[in-house]
Structures are given as C-alpha cells and as structure tokens.
Amino acid sequence: MLISSENYDQLKPMYPLLVQQFVDDYNLMHGVALDIGAGPGWLGMELAKITHMKIVFLDLSQDALDTSRRNFEELNVDNDVEYIKADVHELPLEDDYADFIMSRGSIWFWSQPQKGLKEIERVLKPGGVAIVGGGLGRYLPESMRARLQGSIKQRLKERMETRPNPAEFKAMVEKARLNNYRILTESEGGGRWVEIRK
C-alpha cells in the first residue's frame, strides 16, 4: 500500500471537517477513541484537538505508528495517548474497550473485512459507536470534494486499485453479521461507511 506525504498534503483540509462531523453526529467529548489503521494519525490528532478523549492509534505498520507519534507529539495537547501495533483481525484489546472507534481508508486492505468488523464490534463499549469505511465526509465544500475525488480516482487508476461499489460494500458488511449497524453513503462514487452501535 503506497501512501505518500503528497497524498496527505492534499487531503489534510478534509480531516478536521470529517472529525467535526463525527463529534457532532456522536456527541464525542470524553472516553476512549480508537483510530484503526491510523496511518500518520490525522484523524486521532484532530479529535484530540477538540475533545478530552484518550486517543489510541492502532496500525499494522510500525512506520505509520512512529509517524503518528511524531505528529502527535508536535501537537502539544494534553490528551492521554497510546500507540498499538496490531492487526484489526485480532485486536489485543478487551471486550467493551472503546467509547468511539473510527477507521478511515483501511478496510479496503483487510484480508477478511468481516472478521475486522466483528472485532470492532467486540471491543466497542455498549452505548458506543464505530464508523468504518472511507470517504471525505459531509462537511467538505463541493469545490474541494470535486477536486479531491478527481485526484483520488486518478491515483487508484495509476495503482490499479479498486474500491467496492455500494452493492459490494453492502454484501461485505452483511457477511460480518453485526448486531446493530447501518450503511452510510456520501454521494455517487463517493464515500461508503458502516456505522456500528452496541
């Protein structure tokens, strides 16, 4: 999986908007937030800036975690933080661990998405919510959305990667047999998310 800092530079204005959407939708302020497939950590960092949540960065890649640690340390916030190198298919976390779980742009790389989703449901606290998938969020201005979607499409084409269409995404989520979930789509050809509650 190739993630260049150039890609992130272009996407950077999206992260605070997406996280503000999560905070508004799920009334986030306290408790434990788990960022799965955190990459360089932009989601967790934005959440730390505007809440008192403990941020747990989790990724398969030690490089990604090292980067998220460096980025987070530069933020100068006082939120509790933890870095966990782990695979979503086998989370080294107790049941009912996190109040909020977010995972953006990672599920496309999981070998067994249904197993990862089931693990997320397991470690989610009763009353909590998880949002897993990919996209740019509702708060992005249309001008920026068109620009970013264009370059994302181009990048996927260059890397010969595809993303599931809405029907494929629905089928993938159904396989997980989650107890309480709904699928959210942003726009035609745009984001797809599954929101899991417990």
Ligand X SMILES: C[S@@+](CC[C@H](N)C(=O)[O-])C[C@H]1O[C@@H](n2cnc3c(N)ncnc32)[C@H](O)[C@@H]1O
Binder of ligand X out of 34, 56, 64, 131 (CB under 6 A)? 64
- Copy the structure tokens of residue 92: 């080294």
Of 84, 110, 112, 108, nearest to 97 by C-alpha is 84
Instruction: Tell me the window of 38-46, 143-151, 167-175, 190-198 that interacts with ligand X (CB under 6 A).
Output: 38-46
Determine, following the binding rule CB under 6 A, whether residue 106 of this chain makes contact with ligand X: yes
Instruction: Tell me the window of 32-40, 144-152, 172-180, 181-189 that interacts with ligand X (CB under 6 A).
Output: 32-40
Of 64, 138, 128, 132, nearest to 104 by C-alpha is 132
Rounded to whole angstroms, the Cα distance separating 53 from 173 reads 28
Site track 108-137 with ligand X (rule: CB under 6 A), x = hit: -xx---------------------------
Rounded to whole angstroms, the Cα distance separating 92 from 158 reads 35
Determine, following the binding rule CB under 6 A, whether residue 3 of this chain makes contact with ligand X: yes
Measured from the CB atom, is 54 or 85 closer to ligand X? Answer: 85
What residues pair up with 93 in beta bridges, in sequence order? none
User: Taking CB positions, which residue lies at the least distance from ligand X?
Assistant: 39
Q: How far is the CB of 77 from ligand X (least distance, A)?
A: 18
Rounded to whole angstroms, the Cα distance separating 81 from 17 reads 22
Q: At what angle do helices 113-123 and 166-175 cross, to 10 degrees?
A: 60
Interface size with ligand X, residues (CB under 6 A): 19
- Copy the structure tokens of residue 30: 């306290």
Measured from the CB atom, is 105 or 191 closer to ligand X? Answer: 105
Q: How far is the CB of 43 from ligand X (least distance, A)?
A: 6
Determine, following the binding rule CB under 6 A, whether residue 165 of this chain makes contact with ligand X: no
Measured from the CB atom, is 127 or 147 closer to ligand X? Answer: 147
Determine, following the binding rule CB under 6 A, whether residue 17 of this chain makes contact with ligand X: no
Q: What are phi and psi of 172, to 5 degrees?
A: -65, -45
Residue pair 39/5 in contact (Cβ under 8 Å)? The answer is: no
Binder of ligand X out of 45, 53, 59, 169 (CB under 6 A)? 59
Binding site for ligand X (CB under 6 A): 1, 3, 37-39, 42-43, 59-61, 64, 87-89, 104-106, 109-110
